[in-house]
Structure 1
Amino acid sequence: MSIRLGYQMPNFSYQTPVRDLFPTVVRQAREAEAAGFDAVFVMDHFYQLPGIGEPDEPMLEAYTALAGIAAATESVQLSALVTGNTYRNPTLLAKTVSTLDVVSGGRAVLGIGAGWFELEHRQLGFEFGTFTDRFERLDEALQIIAPMLRGERPTFDGTWYRTETAINEPRIRDDLPILLGGGGEKKTFGLAARYANHLNIIANAAELPRKLDALARRCEEAGRDRSTLETSFLAFVMIDEDGDKAREMQRTFLLSRGVDLEALSEEERAAATDRQFVGNPDEVAEQVQARVLDVGVDGIIVNLVTNGHQPGIVELAGRTLGPLVRG
């Protein structure tokens, strides 16, 4: 498994009839595959996130959508970025991702994190608990899921979960990859050092040097060679052949979320846009190279939150960023 260039769909608000929603998803996935992306991701949420839209905007269930994408693609890897551990029993999640692997011919990746969106939990009846609770649950879940993905039959009796010689068949392979997503330098990075093939770092780009130093410490504590844990960064990319048009998309998007760039100080503006890479292809490539790859992160996962559903934009992003991560 290697994910140097990934494409994430952060929304399904395409201003189309619902019957046209999934065809738009499939077209993006196919365009990403053709453009050389290593993986396609959807979010594992039931409501839209506050930084992107309103709670009642369209949101597909992740694994049902991924199975549909699997049937419409041939080679691209498929994952949630990332599965909220709190939404599914770990044995069910092991079965779900293994089934996706069978359906896709060995292309599934288990992306997983602790869960954080309290509104979803409260309104839909999922137990949220404390920050500590959620990470204890994730640790226990990984102790169950990881062996189940390898064909072992774990018996586990924890605070949150229990299993008795849990069976997970059929499987297409014994090395289905695990990707952890998050920015927590102690808990998330510590779990990644113990369990993951890949860590997707959720943070401001300015924080990446510190994050990578922390990850190196967690790997050392776990007795793991840091170079064996691949890393990526999740970036909001707003790209157009016309850089001014891309910057206008950024301004309009941020205004929709209550942020007026023109009213902010230079320092506030930098903080509000730290995860965003905006402009024409040359500008975006330069920003990603300098702010992410030169720092030491292995790869980039992009969402095209403003225009990814428009034909040709995913291809443009792939053509722009592929050469940076492939050398």
Structure 2
Amino acid sequence: MRFAIKTRPEHTTWQQLRDVWIAADEFEIFESAWHWDHFYPLTGDMAGPNLEAWTTLAALAQATQRIRIGCQVNGMIYRHPAVTANMAATTDIISGGRLELGLGAGWNEMETTAYGIELYGLKERFDRFDEGMQAIVALLTEKVANFDGKYIKLTDAYCEPKAVQTPHPPIAIGGKGPKRTLRAVARWAQHWNVIVANPEEWKPLKDILVKHCEDVGRDVNDITCSVNVRIDPDEPLDTAVAAAAAYGEAGVDMVVLNLPLDAPPSVLEPLAKAVAPLA
């Protein structure tokens, strides 16, 4: 089993976030580090601080040396896909080829209402997501990209310089929608991340992904399957380790360990030791 960490950029400072990622960079058991793409906190005071995803990700790319970096996940509706493609290419260059390109359709009505960003109905949102995926892949892989969709159009469009990773940074799609999200994972993703309650909820979703992969002619084993396990500061680490072990037995490839809010860098050494027997 492989392991990653995830930090919450809410109710914290840049210095605290940076120091945890730098510390995680020292422990090889942690393959990657992730945060989220929101403009408001998701817990506590909604008027509190929440660091923006892409600017912090670029800075964290510069602050670290080894660990892969990503966001679970960037909301497609927040930025034009061409802008996202350019940001991804540049961040991959800054990191020396360590970016994991996390993408999702978006869902946060509170943020979109506050900022005047159109959320769209569920069908249109996923139609836009599908077109956005095609546009992003085209921009990251083709010298000159053209795309004529219903919502997204590219005309002799450039995205230069290209990312370090070829054909593009691995795409991580987050979510568990059986029809649209998992079909998108089968079509474009190298990594699927989902938040579920237990392995029993995860297993039927994996079966659906297998079917979608068969439909599009992909080997599901080419897709890293990850879940998130929350580290509760009020419980012993054994609780999270047992949860990770259960997911591993169910067939999950990677467990993303969600660190407590304001966790200091010192939490990483005992966490690394606790999960090491499962690696």
Query: TM-score by structure 1 length?
Result: 0.80
Which residue in 2 is equivalent to 1:189? 182
Q: Report how far residue 68 of structure 1 moved.
A: 1.1
Tell me what 1:70 maps to: 61
Q: CA deviation at 1:42?
A: 1.6
Query: Which whole-Å deviations, capped at 9, do the CAs of 1:75-124 have from their partners, x for residues lacking one?
Result: 11111110000000001100001100111111111100000000100111
Q: Deviations over 1:247-305 (max 9, x none)?
A: xxxxxxxxxxxxxxxxxxxxxxxxxxxxxxxx323332122212x11111111112113
Counterpart in the other structure of 2:272: 318
- The answer to whether the Cα contact below 8 Å between 2:21 and 2:60 also exists between their aligned partners in 1 is yes
**2-side partners of 1:153 and 1:314: how far apart?**
44
Residues 306 and 174 (structure 1), Cα distance of their counterparts in 2 relative to 1, 3 Å cut:
closer
- Any conservation in 2 of the 1:110–1:178 contact (CA below 8 Å)? yes
Give the number of aligned pairs: 275
**Take 2:2 and 2:190, find their aligned partners in 1: how far apart are those partners?**
13
Distance in 1 (CA, whole Å) between partners of 2:48 and 2:273 is 30
Return the letter of the residue paired with 1:293.
G
- Name the SS of the counterpart of 1:156 in structure 2: strand
Q: Is the CA contact 1:153–1:166 (under 8 Å) kept in the aligned structure 2?
A: yes
Over alpha carbons, which structure has the higher Rg? Answer: 1
CA distance in 2, matches of 1:185, 1:81: 18
Specify the alignment match of 1:42 in structure 2. Answer: 35
Q: What SS does structure 2 have at the residue aligned with 1:34?
A: coil
Q: Take 1:286 and 1:99, find their aligned partners in 2: how far apart are those partners?
A: 39
Aligned to 1:297: 252
Distance 1:226 1:303, change over 3 A: same
In the other structure, the counterpart of 1:217 is: 211
Q: Distance in 2 between matches of 1:126 and 1:95?
A: 21
Mapped contact 2:76–2:129 kept (Cα < 8 A): yes
Using the alignment, how far apart are the partners of 1:227 and 1:24 within structure 2?
36
Judged with a 3 Å threshold, the aligned counterparts in structure 2 of structure 1 residues 101 and 82 are, in CA distance, closer, same or farther, namely: same
Q: Quick check: 2:131–2:149 contact (8 Å CA) kept in 1?
A: yes
Separation of aligned partners in 2, 1:286 and 1:298: 15
| Superposed CA RMSD | 1.6
8 Å Cα contact 1:150/1:173 also seen in 2: no
2:96 to 99, 105, 120: 105
Structure-to-structure mapping, 1:131-170, within 5 angstroms:
131-170=122-161
Secondary structure of 1:38's counterpart equals strand
Query: Is the contact between residue 46 and residue 61 of structure 1 (CA under 8 Å) also seen in structure 2?
Result: yes
The counterpart of 2:117, out of the listed 126, 136, 153, is 126
Residues 1:166 and 1:319: Cα distance change in structure 2 (over 3 Å): farther
Q: CA deviation at 1:317?
A: 2.2
The share of aligned pairs that are identical, in percent, is 32
**Structure 2 partner of 1:57:** 48
TM-score by length of 2: 0.93
Distance 1:34 1:323 in 2: 18
Aligned equivalents of 2:111, 2:262: Cα separation in 1: 26
Partner of 2:17: 25
Runs of 4+ in 1 over 3 A off after TM superposition: none
> Deviation digits for residues 37-62 of structure 1, max 9, x if unmatched?
1111121100112xx33321211111
Q: Secondary structure at the match of 1:238?
A: coil
Give 1:261's aligned residue.
none
SS in 2 for 1:233: strand
Q: Which runs of 5+ in 2 are unaligned?
A: none
